[in-house]
C-alpha cells in the first residue's frame, strides 16, 4: 500500500467513525421531530438541504427559522 493509499484509507476510516458518532448522537435525541430535523439536515442525502427544505420535509407548518431554532435550542441544552 502506498503512502497516498494509506492516507486515503485513514481519511475514510475517520469519516466513517465520525458518521457513526453523529448517528448515535441523533439516535439518542428523545423528541421525534427534533430527531427528524437532525437526520434531514445532517445525514440524509449527499448534499445538505437548506433549512427551508428541511422545514418542507418536516411539514406541519414548520418554517426554516423554526426548525433552525429547534436545533439551536437542543444543542444549547446539551
| Residue in the block written with cell 475517520 | 14
Q: Which residues of the chain have pLDDT under 70?
A: none
CB under 8 Å to 38, separation ≥6 — which residues? 25, 26, 29, 71
CB under 8 Å to 1, separation ≥6 — which residues? 9
Q: Can you give the pLDDT at residue 26?
A: 97
pTM of the model: 0.83
Q: Can you give the pLDDT at residue 66?
A: 98
Q: What is the mean pLDDT of the chain?
A: 93
Q: Can you give the pLDDT at residue 50?
A: 96
CB 22 within 8 A of CB 42: yes
Residue 67 gets which letter from DSSP?
A: H
Amino acid at each position: 500500500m502506498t503512502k497516498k493509499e494509506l492516507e486515503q484509507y485513514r481519511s475514510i476510516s475517520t469519516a466513517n467513525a465520525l458518521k457513526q458518532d453523529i448517528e448515535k448522537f441523533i439516535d439518542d435525541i428523545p423528541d421525534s421531530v427534533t430527531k427528524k430535523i437532525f437526520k434531514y439536515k445532517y445525514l440524509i442525502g449527499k448534499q445538505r438541504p437548506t433549512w427551508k427544505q428541511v422545514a418542507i420535509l418536516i411539514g406541519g407548518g414548520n418554517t426554516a427559522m423554526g426548525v433552525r431554532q429547534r436545533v439551536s435550542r437542543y444543542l444549547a441544552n446539551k
